[in-house]
C-alpha cells in the first residue's frame, strides 16, 4: 500500500508540474489552454503532493529533492498568478467616493444556460437587483419570450436569440444611442455593440460570448482568442472612450489571453484586490472559475460588485455598479501594454485566419 501511495503522490505531482509548464506555451490547443483554468486546484495538489512526499516517502536522494523543489516551484507559480485576485493584493479599481459628481450605471450579466427552464428565478433577480442594463447570454426563442416582462422596465432592447448557445439579449432602461449585433470572428457567434449616456458622457458597451476551447468537440481557443484581440484593439485604438466590456468570455481572468486583452484595451479588472468571483460551474463547488467578466475603462470607480445567487444555470450572474467620476483616471492608470503585445495579437489573428480558411476553427463534432 505504501508503494502505491508513493507512486500516486509522484504521479499527481508530476502531472501538475507538467500542466504548469504547458501554461507557458502559446498553443491554442484545448489541452494546453485547459491548464489555464484550475490554478487554485493545481497549487493545492502540488503543495500537497510535494509535502506528503517529503514527509512520508523521501529517502533523501537528489531526484526526490528535485521532485519536491519542482512541486514547490509549481505551487508558487500558480499562487503568483492568482494573487492579484485575492483580497491581499492591492485594489486595482478604487471604491467610489460618492458625492454630487457621481453618476452610476448598474449592469447585470448572466449566462442563462439555454435549456434552463427556471425563467422566473432570473426575472426575480432582475426585479430585486434593479439593474440599469441586463445582458442575457445563451438565450434562445424560449428564453426571449420568457424575458418579455423585462421590457416594461427596460424598454430599450437589442434582441438576437439563437438555438446554438450563442444567442443574446440586451435590455436597458437607459436610451441606447446605438445598438447592433456584430459577428467579429464567426458567423454564428454574435456580440453586442451598444452605447448609452451616463452623466452626459457616451459610454460604449461590448457584450461578448466567444466560442470556448473544449475537448468534447475538439475545439481549440483560436476563435475565442481572436475575438478578444479584435475587441481589445478596437478599444485601445478608440482614444480613451468610457467603455465597459461584459460577458461570458469562456476564459479565466488570469489566462495569457485575458491579460493580453487588458493590455491591448487598457481596461481595468475590478476583481483585482477583491476576490476571485468564481461564476462557473455553479453546480460544482470544487471546480469553479471566473469565466463571467466585467472590465471597464479608468473613467469609473466601483460602487458594488457581486456574484448573485443560483438561477438554475451553470453560471452565477454577475452584478456590478460603476460610478462615472471625471477625476478617476488621475488615480487609476490604464493597464499598460508591453513589448511584444502587438506581435502576439497579430499572431492570434493570423492563426484564426488560417484556421477559418480550412474550416478548422469550427468544432469537429457539432
Cell of 37: 483554468
What length is written for the chain? Answer: 366
Tell me the pLDDT tens digit for each residue of 62-92. Answer: 888 999 999 999 999 999 999 999 999 999 9
Q: Where does the chain have alpha helices with state H?
A: 2-22, 30-33, 39-52, 62-82, 119-129, 141-146, 222-236, 256-265, 341-358
Map out the domains of the chain with their CATH numbers.
Answer: 2-85 (no CATH), 103-330 (3.60.10.10)
Whether the model pTM is above 0.85: yes
* Cβ burial, residue 350 (10 Å; 0-12/13-18/19+): exposed
Task: Decide if pLDDT at 100 tops 60.
Answer: no
Q: Do strands 243-248 and 292-296 pair parallel, antiparallel, or not at all (unpaired)? A: antiparallel
CB atoms within 10 A of CB 82: 18
Name the more confident of 62 and 132: 132
Following CA atoms 246, 251, 253, 256 in sequence, which dihedral angle do they give, to the nearest 10 degrees? Answer: -120
Measured over the CA atoms of residue 130, residue 131, residue 135 and residue 141, the dihedral's sign is positive
Tell me the pLDDT tens digit for each residue of 186-217. Answer: 999 999 999 999 988 999 999 999 998 888 77
Cell of 84: 492579484
> What percent of the chain has pLDDT above 90?
75
Q: What interhelical angle do 341-358 and 222-236 show, nearest 10?
A: 130
Amino acid at each position: 500500500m505504501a508503494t502505491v501511495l508513493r507512486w500516486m503522490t509522484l504521479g499527481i505531482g508530476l502531472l501538475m508540474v507538467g500542466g504548469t509548464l504547458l501554461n507557458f506555451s502559446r498553443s491554442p490547443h484545448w489541452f494546453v489552454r485547459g491548464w489555464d483554468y484550475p490554478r487554485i486546484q493545481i497549487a493545492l495538489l502540488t503543495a500537497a503532493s510535494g509535502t506528503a512526499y517529503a514527509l512520508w516517502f523521501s529517502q533523501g536522494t537528489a531526484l526526490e529533492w528535485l521532485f519536491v523543489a519542482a512541486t514547490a516551484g509549481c505551487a508558487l507559480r500558480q499562487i503568483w498568478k492568482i494573487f492579484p485576485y485575492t483580497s491581499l493584493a492591492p485594489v486595482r479599481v478604487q471604491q467610489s467616493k460618492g458625492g454630487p459628481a457621481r453618476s452610476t450605471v448598474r449592469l447585470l450579466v448572466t449566462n442563462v444556460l439555454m435549456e434552463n427552464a427556471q425563467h422566473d428565478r432570473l426575472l426575480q433577480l432582475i426585479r430585486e437587483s434593479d439593474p440599469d442594463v441586463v445582458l442575457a447570454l445563451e438565450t434562445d426563442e424560449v428564453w426571449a419570450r420568457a424575458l418579455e416582462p423585462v421590457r416594461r422596465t427596460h424598454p430599450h432592447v437589442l434582441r438576437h436569440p439563437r438555438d446554438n448557445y450563442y444567442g443574446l439579449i440586451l435590455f436597458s432602461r437607459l436610451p441606447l444611442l446605438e445598438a447592433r449585433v456584430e459577428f467579429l470572428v464567426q458567423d454564428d457567434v454574435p456580440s453586442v455593440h451598444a452605447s448609452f449616456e451616463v452623466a452626459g458622457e457616451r459610454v460604449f458597451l461590448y457584450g461578448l460570448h466567444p466560442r470556448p476551447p473544449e475537448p468534447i468537440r475538439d475545439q481549440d481557443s483560436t476563435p475565442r482568442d481572436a475575438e478578444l484581440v479584435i475587441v481589445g484593439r478596437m478599444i485601445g485604438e478608440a482614444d480613451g472612450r468610457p467603455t465597459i466590456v461584459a460577458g461570458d468570455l469562456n476564459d479565466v481572468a488570469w489566462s495569457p489571453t485575458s491579460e493580453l486583452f487588458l493590455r491591448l484595451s487598457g481596461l481595468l479588472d475590478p476583481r483585482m484586490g477583491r476576490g476571485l468571483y468564481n461564476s462557473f460551474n455553479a453546480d460544482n463547488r470544487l471546480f469553479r472559475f471566473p469565466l463571467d467578466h466585467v472590465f471597464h475603462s479608468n473613467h469609473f470607480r466601483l460602487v458594488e460588485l457581486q456574484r448573485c445567487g443560483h438561477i438554475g444555470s451553470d453560471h452565477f450572474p454577475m452584478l456590478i455598479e460603476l460610478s462615472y467620476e471625471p477625476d478617476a483616471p488621475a488615480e487609476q492608470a490604464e493597464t499598460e501594454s508591453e513589448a511584444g503585445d502587438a506581435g502576439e495579437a497579430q499572431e492570434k489573428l493570423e492563426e484564426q485566419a488560417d484556421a477559418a480558411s480550412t474550416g478548422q476553427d469550427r468544432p469537429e463534432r457539432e
